[in-house]
């Protein structure tokens, strides 16, 4: 079925986040939930943002709409969205129009975020009026089309109250409301949480299809790596308010370079094979007050911890096909110049030799020493 709203004539927009820091006011002062994050969402891609609870995913995503609420605020950095400029600088009417108009957001637990006292159609009209939509009939037709595209009877759904719809139907209504004003950047926060497996699979398929057909740039936030594997082109991994790894999904999931990414993957129980293969990550993620203010944020849980990790923030830098922030992972330059046997041992997969076999201590001397030398050189 053809959608009434075609792909943007300029193509999907790019999103460029630079040096973004978001703080929350606490009894201990303002503390960063997102710190110095730089990342690009390539036009037309689905990026999956993963990390344990509290790693800063939702805070980062809200920054894309300049919608961080007090006691939080964006204290530094920029979010440039193609055709819009720096969203962090937008105020008043311009910001209100951008939200929903150009940037759609499907909130966490969208299934429960509809107004229980109004029909979906009434909420749609409220949305249209708040964005000064002149042709409300066309808006309703667009909503019906979108709902039909997602396998629902549009007219019936628009006449329904929240309690008359299943969880999966409400989630689709959330997606419709995020897209109906023709947004081309879409953020979905935990789009499949609390849905059964079949409905989850169905929603992920819908996200992919609509993403491709409408020419969107999409960010999906989830703590479930399975969701990322299913729906995303790129994966970004967050820990303690930092981005620790970002790259193509297949490359990163097939050969994770950061110890945290590897730990997340190893913690997934498999449907087949030995159930004991899944290893929970030891320790807990930090809270705002326990995130260290210098050195690597992951070091207290890291099997590859070295002295340098206590004092020097690892740079988020290219290791060839991806970006990684880890002192134990050699940057791209090292790979292109290595020739000798000992230098070849610097590759991340060598540094990982102990982890894959279930050993939970730093890699053997040679690897550890070489990695440390490499990184001390870098930070100099």
Whichever of 33 and 330 has its CB closer to ligand ATP, that residue is 33
DSSP 3-state of 80: strand
Q: Inter-axis angle of helices 120-130 and 167-179, to 10 degrees?
A: 20
Q: Inter-axis angle of helices 167-179 and 197-214, to 10 degrees?
A: 10
With beta carbons less than 8 A apart as the criterion, state whether 349 and 332 touch.
Answer: no
DSSP 3-state of 50: strand
Kindly tell me which residue out of 72, 82, 100, 314 binds ligand ATP, with binding defined by CB under 6 A. 72
Minimum Å gap between C-beta 36 and ligand ATP is 15
Kindly tell me which residue out of 251, 288, 315, 333 binds ligand ATP, with binding defined by CB under 6 A. 288
Burial letters 30-58, b for 16+ CB under 10 A, else e: ebbbbbbbebbbebbbbbbbbbbebbbbb
Minimum Å gap between C-beta 241 and ligand ATP is 7
Residues 35-64 that bind ligand ATP (CB under 6 A): 51, 53-59
Q: Is residue 74 near ligand ATP by the rule CB under 6 A?
A: no
Whichever of 221 and 308 has its CB closer to ligand ATP, that residue is 221
Whichever of 50 and 152 has its CB closer to ligand ATP, that residue is 50
Whichever of 56 and 331 has its CB closer to ligand ATP, that residue is 56
Q: Rounded CA gap, 260 and 298, in Å?
A: 7
Q: Inter-axis angle of helices 120-130 and 136-149, to 10 degrees?
A: 130
* Burial class of residue 251 (count of CB atoms within 10 Å of its CB; 0-12, 13-18, 19+): middle
Count of residues that interact with ligand ATP, criterion CB under 6 A: 15
Minimum Å gap between C-beta 194 and ligand ATP is 13
Whichever of 31 and 140 has its CB closer to ligand ATP, that residue is 31
Minimum Å gap between C-beta 24 and ligand ATP is 4
Minimum Å gap between C-beta 106 and ligand ATP is 14
Whichever of 112 and 353 has its CB closer to ligand ATP, that residue is 112
Whichever of 70 and 254 has its CB closer to ligand ATP, that residue is 70
Residues 8-37 that bind ligand ATP (CB under 6 A): 24, 33
Q: Which long-range contacts (CB under 8 A, 24 or more apart) does 165-170 make?
A: 165/120, 166/199, 167/111, 167/194, 167/195, 167/199, 168/195, 168/196, 168/199, 168/202, 168/203, 170/110, 170/111, 170/112, 170/114
Give the per-residue contact string, 268-287, with ligand ATP (x = CB under 6 A; - = no).
-------------------x
Q: Which residues bind ligand ATP (CB under 6 A)?
A: 24, 33, 51, 53-59, 71-72, 223, 287-288
């Amino acid at each position: 079925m053809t959608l009434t709203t075609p792909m943007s004539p300029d193509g999907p927009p790019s999103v460029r986040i630079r040096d973004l820091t978001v703080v929350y006011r606490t009894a201990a002062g303002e503390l960063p939930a997102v710190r110095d994050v730089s990342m690009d969402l390539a036009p037309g891609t689905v990026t999956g943002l993963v990390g344990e609870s509290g790693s800063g995913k939702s805070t980062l995503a809200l920054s894309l709409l300049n919608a961080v609420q007090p006691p939080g605020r964006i204290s530094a950095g920029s979010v440039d969205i193609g055709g819009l400029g720096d969203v962090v600088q937008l105020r008043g009417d311009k910001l209100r129009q951008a939200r929903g108009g150009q940037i759609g957001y499907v909130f966490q637990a969208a299934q429960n975020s509809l107004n229980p006292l109004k029909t979906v159609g009434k909420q749609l009209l409220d949305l249209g009026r708040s964005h000064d939509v002149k042709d409300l009939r066309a808006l309703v037709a667009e909503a019906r089309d979108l709902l039909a595209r997602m396998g629902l009877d549009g007219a019936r759904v628009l006449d329904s109250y929240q309690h008359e719809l299943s969880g999966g139907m409400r989630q689709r209504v959330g997606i419709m409301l995020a897209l109906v004003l023709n947004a081309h950047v879409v953020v979905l926060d935990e789009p499949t949480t609390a849905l059964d497996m079949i409905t989850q699979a169905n929603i992920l398929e819908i996200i992919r299809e609509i993403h491709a057909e409408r020419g969107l740039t999409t960010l999906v936030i989830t703590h479930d790596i399975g969701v990322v594997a299913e729906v995303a082109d790129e994966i970004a991994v967050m820990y303690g308010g930092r981005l620790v790894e970002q790259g193509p999904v297949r490359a990163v999931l097939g050969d994770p370079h950061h110890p945290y990414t590897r730990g997340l993957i190893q913690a997934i129980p498999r449907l087949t094979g030995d159930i004991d293969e899944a290893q929970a990550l030891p320790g807990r993620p930090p809270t705002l007050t326990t995130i260290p203010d210098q050195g690597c944020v992951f070091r207290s849980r890291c099997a590859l911890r070295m002295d340098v990790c206590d004092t020097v923030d690892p740079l988020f830098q290219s290791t060839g096909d991806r970006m990684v922030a880890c002192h134990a992972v050699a940057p791209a330059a090292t790979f292109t110049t290595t020739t000798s046997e000992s230098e070849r041992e610097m590759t991340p997969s060598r540094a990982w030799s102990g982890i894959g076999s279930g050993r939970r201590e730093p890699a053997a001397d040679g690897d550890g020493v070489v990695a440390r030398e490499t990184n001390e050189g870098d930070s100099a």
